[in-house]
Chain A
Amino acid sequence: SQKIEQNSEALNIQEGKTATLTCNYTNYSPAYLQWYRQDPGRGPVFLLLIRENEKEKRKERLKVTFDTTLKQSLFHITASQPADSATYLCALGSGTASKLTFGTGTRLQVTL
């Protein structure tokens, strides 16, 4: 069965450092992968999309990589700030349907 794994343990880093979150998947051939941010008590908010033929995507302090051979995506936040503290979810999608399958998320805590 399809499986998406994100580190269930919280990631604690110091302000100014780079946070790296991992999303691994099995039994899936996604056409694209998305990352969402979720704050407590709120719905997820879209951050970035990367397609299967793209290796890397950047948006301001965010960078996403997508390795379809390793079946892995890495999500980086550079120069992290306490305001970046949240849960980050990866989601995989197929080519034709609008349906997404979400990972369980990784909680990031950025401290001063």
Chain B
Amino acid sequence: DAGVIQSPRHEVTEMGQEVTLRCKPISGHDYLFWYRQTMMRGLELLIYFNNNVPIDDSGMPEDRFSAKMPNASFSTLKIQPSEPRDSAVYFCASNLLAGGRNEQFFGPGTRLTVL
């Protein structure tokens, strides 16, 4: 398996633009997580899905952020409109809870810069 795949790896955009980040989880995993990492706040959970259904979106900072998981192999995180304070590295992770270890597998991340 190729692991968790994220695209793009880097995104530079201007304030006010819409940004869409994409994630393909590991095949067979039933949980998908979106995180944001900054130096100041560390790794923060934004939202997670179980079997394509959003379970907890309490970490989504505001209505400008939205996430979807239309099927088991694809998820998007959208920011509209983007602001400079959204600049961070965004990670997608997946796991299979039935595996027992609750080990999360992370993608390589998308580095977002909002000018």
Contacts of A93 in B (CB 8 A): 102
Q: Is A43 in contact with B107, judged by CB distance below 8 angstroms?
A: yes
Contacts of A46 in B (CB 8 A): 101, 103-105
Q: Is A43 in contact with B102, judged by CB distance below 8 angstroms?
A: no
Whole-angstrom CA separation of A99 from B41 in the bound complex: 18
Contacts of B103 in A (CB 8 A): 34, 46, 49
Q: Count of A residues near B, CB < 8 Å?
A: 20
Known interface pairs A43-B91, A49-B101; A100-B106 also in contact (CB < 8 Å): no
* Number of inter-chain CB pairs below 8 Å: 56
A25 within 8 A of B: no
Whole-angstrom CA separation of A45 from B44 in the bound complex: 16
Contacts of A49 in B (CB 8 A): 101-103
Per-residue CB contact flags for chain B residues 24-66 toward chain A (1 = under 8 Å, else 0) read 0000000101010000011111001010000110000000000
Main secondary structure of the interface of B (DSSP, over half): strand
A21 within 8 A of B: no
Contact of B31 among A98, A103, A105 (CB under 8 A): A98
Q: Which of A36-95 contact B (CB under 8 A)?
A: 41-46, 49, 89, 93
Contacts of B42 in A (CB 8 A): 89, 102-105
Whole-angstrom CA separation of A44 from B44 in the bound complex: 13
B93 within 8 A of A: yes
Whole-angstrom CA separation of A44 from B103 in the bound complex: 11
Q: Is A44 in contact with B102, judged by CB distance below 8 angstroms?
A: no
Name A101's closest neighbour in chain B (CB-CB).
B45
Q: Is A43 in contact with B93, judged by CB distance below 8 angstroms?
A: yes
- Output the residue of B42, B91, B102 with the most chain A CB within 10 A: B102
| Nearest-Cβ distance from residue B83 to partner chain A, whole angstroms | 23
Contacts of A44 in B (CB 8 A): 43, 91, 104, 106
Known interface pairs A43-B109, A102-B42; A34-B93 also in contact (CB < 8 Å): no
Known interface pairs A98-B95, A98-B97, A99-B56; A43-B106 also in contact (CB < 8 Å): yes
Please list 5 pairs of residues, one from A and one from B, whose beta carbons are closer than 8 Å in the complex, sorted by A's number. Answer: A42-B108, A43-B91, A45-B106, A98-B95, A105-B43
